Chain A
Amino acid sequence: MSIGQTFLGLLEASPRHGYELKRVYDERFGQGRPLHYGQVYSTLARLLKSGLVEVDGVEPGAGPERKRYAITAAGVTDVARWLAQPEKPDTYLQNTLYAKVVLGLLTGRDAADILDVQRAEHLRLMRALTRRKADGDLADQLICDFALFHLEADLRWLELTAARLDQLAATLRVPAPHPDRSTP
């Protein structure tokens, strides 16, 4: 899971200060392991250098924590590419998928697209495993089943998430991607 792309996504929603970025990240994606300030500023420096973000303004005082960062057009493109890219089906990729869904919503994108794309990718792998299972011996079958059940769990979670999009949208206080699903 990439901190840089997550920052870009958060910045696309609105320009933020460095410490703000850290707080939002920790809250939404930190899962009890807060970022170090050093990690935050080195990531921001890397993003500045590659032209994906820019400094939007500086508040009175000194120190990097007074700088407000905003995303550039190149940064938006990068986020879009990242969100559209299915993750390689793997165990324990919920963090990434979750981040993608939240960011997709935050940036006003259709999160269902993300889910559909991911489902297709998962199923492609599951089909391959299913075929291998049919041809293989018992050991093969057991291994394939192990993978299949985990992949299915991912997809189940994805389905559930898709079904809960309106709920999620309300929590994030952003308009839902489908007008007919919007909640006041």
Chain B
Amino acid sequence: MTSPTPADDRPLLSAVDLHKAYGSTPALDGATLHLRAGEIVAVMGASGSGKSTLLHCLAGIVPPDAGQVHYRDRELSAMSDAERSALRRTEFGFVFQFGQLVPELSCLENVALPLRLGGTRRRVAEQRAAEWLGRLEVTEVAGHRPGEVSGGQGQRVAVARALVTAPRVLFADEPTGALDSLNGEQVMRLLTEAARHTGAAVVLVTHEPRVAAYADREIVVRDGRTRETVLAER
């Protein structure tokens, strides 16, 4: 499912030849990825293959040791920590495997949090948050704390929180990793529908083929290297 990329179709987010080591352990060893606006890309690979690190570098959470990450026309490593934080607040959204909701805030407040971090007034933020909870079919848990809801509900709250700011890119790191099949299916269906609805591109890190099948294409990371396999070239 690869169509030749027209020259004027510049990628939204692109990473070229990323290297990153934690101590003496290399996590990325020449990873390359191009993400076009609105597309959903699955990043696949075994545990420890470096796929989460790739996501962290792409999102500007972790600076790479070598290589460049461009978001639109800006290079992330040239930005200050504050600028990258602002970028993550406004342009990116995040869903992780677990433990991402702030345990002491209610689900509604959790979803409203990114808007409030961006300076939106509390009332407006919570109204938008409530709409998103509805879109992800978890209105009933709005007043509950994360500890009081099921794993599937929690992930859907997390998806709502990631998309409430209408980000250009949604980063999802094993979003169904802690869920059973049914809940995983539901979360993926709602996540991809909502992302397509808002036009957000998605970087979906997963080791599950069924989850990766929700993406438009996949990228495999092995030993910190990407093999963008394009069958049609063979």
Chain A interface (Cβ < 8 Å from any Cβ of B):
84, 86, 112, 116-117, 119-124, 126-127, 129-130, 134, 148-149, 151-152, 155-156, 159, 163
Contact = CB atoms under 8 A, between A and B. Distances in A.
Interface in B127-147: none
Contacts of B44: 119
Chain A contact residues: helix, strand, loop or mixed: helix
B150 interface: no
5 contacts: A84-B234, A126-B212, A127-B214, A127-B215, A130-B213
B167 to A, nearest CB: 23
B234 A117 contact: yes
B46 A122 contact: no
Contacts of B210: 126, 130, 148-149, 152
Nearest to A181: B223
B209 A151 contact: yes
Interface in B199-222: 207-210, 212-216, 218, 220, 222
B229 interface: yes
Interface string B42-73: 00101000000000000000000000000000
B214 A116 contact: no
A127 B52 CA distance: 23
B222 A126 contact: no
Given A129-B213, A152-B209, A124 B231 contact: yes
A155 B46 contact: no
Contacts of A122: 209
